[in-house]
Structure 1
Amino acid sequence: MKKILFKCLLATILFSCSNDDNSSESNNDPSNEAKNEFLGQWKLSKRFLKTSTGAVIQETPVKGCNEKTLIQFNEDGTYRENDIYGDSEGKNCFVNFDESGKYEILPDSEMKFTDNEGYAYIAKVTLINGVLEQTLLNNDPKDDEFEVDEYIKVDEEKEFFVP
């Protein structure tokens, strides 16, 4: 009788374990799925000033030096972003900013960026038809203008511009 009970107990223990038990809980986290969509390097393709209704107030052409503007999302939750400006031929380029830090995916298609110096901001980030749209959210509820940058995924990663 003891042998039968022992075999039943052993069978229960063996069959109740599975490989799924060994996987981390973070693999089931929906924000990890969203993060995977953003991973990689993105190149600035369009820059707008829009209203909250989506009406375009102004479009700034992206050409020359502006085409060197990149953002990169890494699997470890870090990012690097630069903003390059200069002449339209791309010969005399300057760095407006070059920052690195951590990003966090929030509800409602928002992403929190915290640079390495501790400055944080929130942007609405969407990905539609391969275009990543980043809308900088402002803190003034009376202000109805939003900066919007559109990025396209880079097939082959580029070096970040250094003057």
Structure 2
Amino acid sequence: MANPTQLISRAHDLCEKRGVRLTSQRERVYEIIASSKRAISAYELLDMLRETEPQAKPPTIYRALDFLLSQGFVHKVESANSFIACCLPGHEQHCSQLLICDVCSAVEECHTDDLSSALQEKASNLGFSVSHHVVETHGVCHACNVAQKKMQ
């Protein structure tokens, strides 16, 4: 997992270059996501945001998520309807490969250029223009594997 402070600093730099605003609410939502060790749902985000902003409503979260997604700062984990911080903000063309633990819900983003290239080549051969792609792989993380073996 990338350092949340570094991610937020990078987001500020990118927003300044792009001429967009990372408002305090957007930054707080991003900070919550970046600090989480697992994917986090919109309603979990709302509950956490309400600790500092009791008036926050679902549209607050969805607007912030729309912004963070459009800027490439977070990824949506489609299979879990949740969100994680992108470990490479500013690299919009990278293929996101997510390893999702079905036991503890931890999500690790990794990058394998061979997989990305193979997907891009296959799409190109089919005349398909890729705007972005996310590969989700479900299984059991190392920590949960170790814990399960100890219980046996």
TM-score relative to the length of structure 2: 0.26
